[in-house]
Chain A
Amino acid sequence: MSSDEHYKEIIRREMAKLKTPVKLKVFTSQRIEADGSKIRACMDCSQFMTLLRIYEENSNGMLTIEEMSIDDNPEFVKQYDISRVPTILFIDNNGREVIRYLAAPQGAEIQPFIQSIFTFAGAPNYYEATIKQNLNRIEPSTIKIMMTETCPYCPQVITIANMFALASEGKIRTVIIDINHNQDIGQYYDAAGVPYTIINDQKTITGMVGPNEILRSLIGGNIRVSY
């Protein structure tokens, strides 16, 4: 089995287990051809949507990928500050953006993406109780994670950060950035190693980082827990 087929098989196997409906928004750019038909104008968008349709088609109708053109939806573009395409958004029931992907969920990145979909759909979140206990100590925060497809530790850091965001009742937002496809962002933050975690555009952590360190960085002190 080729590597691509292997990963497709994982997507099929895991997405078939999704039992609750969930919707993701994907922003692309489209242009109108002379005959009136629309085609995707951004370079990566078609490949990106083909990949996301694999997730959708194997979810027994539970996952809906809503593709929105930035050209036709200026109000959403403004509301969610969409500055590049393609962009995937996880938006909660209160209209709050929880997770933003500026990265294609392929290869090793399939795992955190699927786990995020399941947790977004209501599956148990291992970190939820502790995040909620410390919620009043967490300021509204954005965790940016720079990753590459070949980075072995990126999926774990992304999983932890996304689980934190999904448990945080809108206080934490994550942005997952593939710096091979968004080199300007990597250069802006002087990233020369991955995973590269940036908390509130202030604290940066290069390399593998566990849940304790991320939570400590968010609350600026010791973690409080009661069992």
Chain B
Amino acid sequence: MFPTDSLGFDPEKIYDIIVLGGGPTAIGCAIYAARFAMDVLIVGKTFGGLIATTHIIENYPGITSVSGPGFMEMFREHMQSLNISYISDEIGSIEQKEDYFVLQSFFQQFKARTICIATGSERRKLGIPGEEEFTGRGVSYCATCDGPFFKDKVVCVIGGSDSATKEALFLTQNAKKVYIIYRGEEIRAEPINKKRVYDNEKIEIIYKTNITGIKGDNSVRAVIFDNGKEFEVDGVFIEIGSNPNSDLAKRIGVNTNEKGEIIINRKSETNIPGIFAAGDVADAPFKQAITGVAEGVIAAYSAFDYLKEMEIEY
């Protein structure tokens, strides 16, 4: 963030709400909290979250088409107009005091009456031989970041989701050939993106196939199919979903489901009074920027209500 943003941070203050995260959910929550005249601070590891790596967003109402970084730039501008501070840091522990929480990182201690956990999710890994070894040398989890390294090369995208098809479409801007390798029988993209993939001559889909290994020397040279066949590629983009960043929540006793997602109710409340959650880290079945923002906004309102009920001056 810009210098003046972090200058607004006050280590002595007990914030009305500290929002953990850096994506649209976290910022949506903070914007509403600021408009409720609450003292709000955002602490996040990654400004922008996963959506910042999306090359094109076309389903956020009111915005016809925007890049992921462009989308987050709009959120940042909105945040700055309300003088909301953002700190790039990772909270390691949360301790509950009588009527506030103490949040601890290696760099600072924070205090807050309420917390909204909007820490999102991180890309799931395949967990196969070669994946870790070649990360940064042909294996990537971000086409927007690394696509330009594969000009006129052959790459593959692992996965069949809407995100996977969008990664494949983006990669065609540089690569000469893009294979989508999917274990299922039909890609699960939105119809508009499915059509784009089918219409794109550079893209070919290989169905009913799993990857069991990645081979190479200095960089990736091939992937190995589950039938044992070696398939030559220069790059492997892995897009097989994501896991919720809920470790901190679990450590402090916030209830999660079998997927590790934080269980929330329609008020974005968790089982711990004063701690709310929203977005990809929470247990909604359909995860989108718009649904995350909505949950974040509800969390801000519920936190506002909580402070009123606790008769805490805000």
Contact = CB atoms under 8 A, between A and B. Distances in A.
B64 interface: no
A34 interface: no
B3 A130 contact: no
Interface residues of B, number: 41
A1 to B, nearest CB: 11
B109 A148 contact: no
B48 interface: yes
B296 to A, nearest CB: 20
A64 interface: no
Interface in B122-166: 135-138, 140-142, 144-146, 148-149
Nearest to A123: B3
B53 interface: yes
Contacts of B146: 192-194
Nearest to B4: A17
Nearest to B106: A223
B9 to A, nearest CB: 7
A17 B73 CA distance: 20
A148 B53 CA distance: 13
B48 A126 contact: no
Contacts of A191: 136, 149
Contacts of B47: 156
A15 B200 CA distance: 45
Contact of A215 (B1, B48, B106, B135): B106
Contacts of A127: 107
A196 interface: yes
Contacts of A159: 88
B52 interface: yes
B137 A192 contact: yes
Which among B6, B7, B68, B140 has the highest number of chain A CB atoms within 10 Å? B6
A211 B137 CA distance: 23
Given A126-B107, A225-B106, A115 B2 contact: yes
Interface residues of A, number: 41
Contact of B90 (A17, A129, A190, A212): A212
Contacts of B6: 124, 126
Interface in A177-224: 180, 190-196, 204, 206-208, 210-212, 215, 223
A60 B137 CA distance: 45
B45 interface: yes
Contacts of B136: 191-193, 196, 204, 206-207
Given A126-B87, A192-B138, A227 B148 contact: no
A158 to B, nearest CB: 11
A211 B91 CA distance: 11
A217 to B, nearest CB: 13
A153 interface: yes
Contacts of A195: 145
B148 A148 contact: yes
Contacts of B135: 193, 206-207
Contact of B145 (A130, A151, A227): A151
A152 B88 contact: no
Interface in B290-306: none
B260 interface: no
A160 interface: yes
A104 B107 CA distance: 30
Contacts of A14: 2-4
B69 interface: yes
For the complex of A and B, the 3 pairs showing the least CB-CB separation, nearest first, are A206-B136, A118-B3, A152-B52
16 contacts: A17-B3, A115-B1, A126-B88, A126-B107, A148-B145, A152-B142, A152-B145, A156-B47, A156-B88, A192-B149, A192-B219, A192-B235, A193-B135, A207-B145, A211-B89, A225-B107
Interface of B: 1-4, 6-7, 9, 45-48, 52-53, 68-69, 72-73, 87-90, 105-109, 135-138, 140-142, 144-146, 148-149, 218-219, 235
